[in-house]
């Protein structure tokens, strides 16, 4: 079976590589020639544990191909998966221009009956439009049907999540499409939930937004814990034993980021407004998260007279550990504030420093300056203040005594609750965290 995958971002590339690893003949398509050249050499353009190894393995096996020549890739494919981006527009709606572009390419290229499967996160009803759009532009006399197959991988564990998913969601409008998708996923040996297309589209948003709500709820409880003298880690531990609640997504911190939760909460909120309905829970979730991102900066601003000419260590730039993705990362908001206040920032991240350099070029920037270090201890050297924004193991390994020994002023604002307050106090570190 020949499979083509449009887009080599987190969704498209991971899906394509995993399909190839299950023995399918897979061609991944992207417009970026530089990325194509890298992947042909076995180099992954994104950091995900195990991904580069699978690219090299399946490149060598001859069943994984990369190209920018979409006509060659699509014309004889049995199934074409669409995994391109659907970024957020200014009004909160999803930008479907990349979906439309690929759909037209498919319509003008396919030479045999095929199934088009949209893995990208799209508003409910989009797959109906995609199918009609393709039919409107079909060049050859072939049958093309569209199915929904939303992705539920988490960045940082994307390969594992794809190969060991809790379930596969497929949304189809015919038995033929349903059976073909079930056949494709049979080697994965995972539970399959088969529903109609619109239900599949809604499942994706409902899941992501529920998890975002859970994060914002715990952050609200954490903020209240600080006011009443409770400890959010104790509260979360007590909650985790309730099977109705579960133990995941109970960690308080500086809010969510990345390519999914910020975009998907706003997209569902927009969809509701478009249909004359208000999702007040999602509106609150978005508002809480925006405030939470800079909570540690606001705490520090109350403590400090000024940030001007202070050496500020920033540990962690990616929105979460395990990925180099900085999209909607809380570190971005905080770096903007610190640099605008005249701080001299020394930033460290083991994977996303190159992405950070594109957003915040090294040297003088705004009213302050920024440089990047190769280790967290180097960033801490003689620092007046430290902010922790990502829960990388390399950061967790720093002992409380090290902060005291290396920093000019051992003042730490931990947005990920990596340390025990008692241990930091005993080491002589002035320490602030979330909800404790």
| Pair (318, 227) in one structural domain | no
| Pair (172, 225) in one structural domain | no
What does the buried/exposed string (b/e) look like for 300-336 if buried means 16 or more CB atoms within 10 Å of the residue's CB?
beeeeeebeebbbbbbbbbbbbbbbbbbbbbbbbbbb
Taking alpha carbons only, the member of 140, 134, 126 closest to residue 80 is 134
| Pair (233, 356) in one structural domain | no
Taking alpha carbons only, the member of 155, 123, 426, 130 closest to residue 267 is 123
pLDDT band of residue 110 (cuts 50, 70, 90) is very high
Q: How far apart are CA 25 and CA 11, in angstroms?
A: 18
Report the percentage of the chain scoring pLDDT > 70: 100
Q: How far apart are CA 341 and CA 101, in angstroms?
A: 43
| Pair (299, 400) in one structural domain | yes
Domain boundary among 292, 313, 339: 292
**Contact by Cβ (8 Å): 66, 6:** no
Residue ranges in 294-429 assigned as alpha helix (H): 295-303, 330-340, 353-359, 376-380, 393-396, 400-406, 421-426
Range 3-22 average pLDDT: 96
Whole-number average pLDDT of the chain: 96
| Pair (177, 42) in one structural domain | yes
Range 143-147 average pLDDT: 98
CATH code of the domain containing 23: 3.40.50.720
For the whole prediction, is pTM greater than 0.75? Answer: yes
Residue 360: exposure state from Cβ atoms within 10 A (0-12, 13-18, ≥19): buried
Taking alpha carbons only, the member of 57, 78, 59, 62 closest to residue 183 is 78
Q: How far apart are CA 83 and CA 10, in angstroms?
A: 8
| Pair (25, 149) in one structural domain | yes
CATH code of the domain containing 224: 1.10.1040.10
Catalytic residue positions?
A: 260
**Contact by Cβ (8 Å): 43, 207:** no
Position 124 pLDDT exceeds 90: yes
| Pair (29, 102) in one structural domain | yes
Number of domains present in the structure of the chain? 3
**Contact by Cβ (8 Å): 81, 4:** yes
Task: State the CB neighbour count (10 A cutoff) for residue 357.
Answer: 13
Residue 259's pLDDT is 86
Domain boundary among 164, 195, 226: 195
| Pair (280, 337) in one structural domain | no
| Pair (46, 92) in one structural domain | yes
pLDDT band of residue 205 (cuts 50, 70, 90) is very high
Domain boundary among 255, 270, 292: 292
252-284 pLDDT, tens digit each:
999 999 989 999 999 999 999 999 999 999 999
Residue 118, phi then psi, degrees to nearest 5: -90, 110
Domain containing 360 equals: 294-432
| Pair (169, 58) in one structural domain | yes
| Pair (118, 217) in one structural domain | no
pLDDT band of residue 234 (cuts 50, 70, 90) is very high
Range 235-264 average pLDDT: 95
| Pair (46, 180) in one structural domain | yes
Residue 111's pLDDT is 97
**Contact by Cβ (8 Å): 182, 170:** yes
**Contact by Cβ (8 Å): 173, 125:** no
């Amino acid at each position: 079976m020949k499979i083509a995958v449009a887009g080599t971002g987190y969704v498209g590339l991971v899906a394509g590589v995993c399909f190839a690893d299950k023995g399918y003949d897979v061609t991944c398509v992207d417009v970026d020639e530089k990325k194509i050249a890298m992947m042909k050499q076995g180099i992954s353009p994104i950091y995900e544990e195990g991904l580069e190894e699978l690219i090299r393995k399946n490149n060598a096996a001859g069943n994984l191909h990369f190209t920018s020549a979409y006509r060659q890739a699509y014309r004889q494919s049995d199934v074409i998966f669409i995994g391109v981006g659907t970024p957020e527009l200014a009004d909160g709606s999803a930008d479907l221009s990349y979906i439309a572009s690929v759909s037209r390419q498919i319509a003008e290229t396919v030479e045999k009956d095929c199934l088009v499967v949209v893995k990208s996160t799209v508003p409910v009803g989009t797959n109906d439009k995609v199918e009609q759009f393709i039919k409107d532009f079909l060049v050859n006399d072939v049958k093309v049907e569209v199915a929904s197959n939303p992705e539920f991988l988490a960045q940082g564990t994307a390969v594992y999540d794809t190969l060991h998913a809790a379930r596969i969601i497929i949304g189809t409008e015919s038995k033929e499409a349903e059976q073909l998708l079930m056949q494709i996923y049979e080697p994965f040996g995972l539970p399959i939930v088969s529903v109609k297309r619109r239900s599949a589209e809604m499942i994706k948003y409902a899941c992501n937004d529920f998890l975002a709500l859970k994060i914002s709820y715990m952050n609200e409880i954490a903020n209240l814990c600080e006011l009443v003298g409770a400890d959010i880690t104790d509260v979360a531990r007590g909650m985790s034993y309730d099977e109705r609640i579960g133990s995941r997504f109970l960690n308080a911190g500086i809010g969510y980021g990345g390519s999914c939760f910020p975009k998907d909460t706003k997209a569902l909120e927009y969809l509701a407004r478009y249909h004359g309905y208000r999702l007040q829970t999602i509106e609150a979730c978005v508002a809480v998260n925006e405030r939470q991102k800079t909570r540690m900066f606001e705490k520090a601003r109350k403590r400090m007279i000024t940030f001007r000419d202070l050496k500020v260590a920033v540990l962690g730039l990616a929105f979460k550990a395990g990925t180099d993705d900085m999209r909607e990362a809380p570190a971005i908001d905080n770096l903007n504030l610190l640099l605008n206040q005249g701080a001299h920032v020394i930033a460290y991240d083991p994977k996303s420093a190159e992405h950070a350099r594109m957003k915040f070029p090294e040297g003088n920037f705004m009213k302050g300056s920024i440089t990047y270090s190769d280790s967290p201890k180097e960033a801490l050297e003689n620092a007046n203040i430290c902010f922790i924004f990502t829960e990388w193991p390399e950061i967790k390994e720093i002992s409380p005594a090290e902060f005291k020994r290396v920093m000019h002023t051992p003042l730490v604002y931990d947005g990920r609750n990596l340390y025990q307050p008692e241990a930091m106090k005993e080491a002589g570190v002035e320490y602030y965290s979330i909800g404790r």
